[in-house]
Amino acid sequence: ATMTDGELPQPKLTKSRVGTWEDCRYKYKLNYIDNAQTETTSEALQRGIEIHEMLEEFYEGEVETINEATTRLAQHPHAEKYATDIKNFINFNKRLSPDGKTLMKPALIEERIFSEELHVSGYLDALWVDGDNEILLDYKTGKSKDIENYSFGMHLYTYLCRVDTDFDPTHIAIYFVKEDDLRVEEVSQKKIINAIRKIHKVREEINDAKEDDKFSKNPKYGCKWCDYHKTHCKGVGKWKVDELEK
């Protein structure tokens, strides 16, 4: 029988929540426990949201050719704003197509995946089937990085796919839209196990912090881009580490 939310391991986690916890425990508290509001959405986050929305729409409907999908995408309100990204994405799809014209659609697009046992959920961007290969793909809208930077999240999602879909990814892939750069790596069972272990470890750390009401700040240069920098951390504009540590 399906367990109720209260019966599941607490707190519920996602790869974003784990990332926030590892980056700054105080930010985790503000975001996921206090539900503190932020004044603005960062430019990078807004860019990511808007581009992801466009990429998902590219495959929607009865379109069968890349030209049809391109024509429709050109009508999107943000098409001109992200013209270079769109051009790269179209070229990416042409390379996937056997004739450079037929639109090859992913088996899954923006699919919610969930593990009741781990009480972890997420949304995959796309899953492609190519013969015996099943490729779990994530879109990134920033600069290219080594795929190892995304290993935890992608292997966690591989596990979620196994338990919540009919698919069992053989490869993980990151497509950097801005630079038209695709990185692919075979799935590692060891890394899946490590991802699951990390979930248990982070959940234990969060519950210990709740019990002691101890959520430490992690002052660093990147703090000035944090959504909570102006409203919850001192030193705005000067970035005073000594004040951030208080």
Is the omega angle on the peptide bond into residue 106 within 30 degrees of 0, that is, cis?
no
Question: What is the percent of the chain with per-residue pLDDT over 90, rounded to a whole number?
Answer: 79
Pairing mode, strands 171-176 and 133-140: parallel
pLDDT for the residue 1 = 47
User: Using 50, 70 and 90 to split pLDDT, how confident is the model at 239?
Assistant: very low
Mean pLDDT of 163-176: 98
Please give the DSSP secondary-structure letter assigned to residue 147: G
pLDDT score of 99 more than 90 = yes
pLDDT score of 37 more than 90 = no
pLDDT score of 237 more than 60 = no
Please give the DSSP secondary-structure letter assigned to residue 244: H
Starting at the edge strand that comes first in sequence, how are the strands of the sheet with 108-115 ordered? 108-115, 120-130, 133-140, 171-176, 181-186
Position with higher pLDDT, 234 vs 193: 193
Contact call for residues 124 and 161 (beta carbons, < 8 A): yes
User: Using 50, 70 and 90 to split pLDDT, how confident is the model at 219?
Assistant: confident
CA gap 194, 52 in Å, rounded? 28
Contact call for residues 136 and 172 (beta carbons, < 8 A): yes
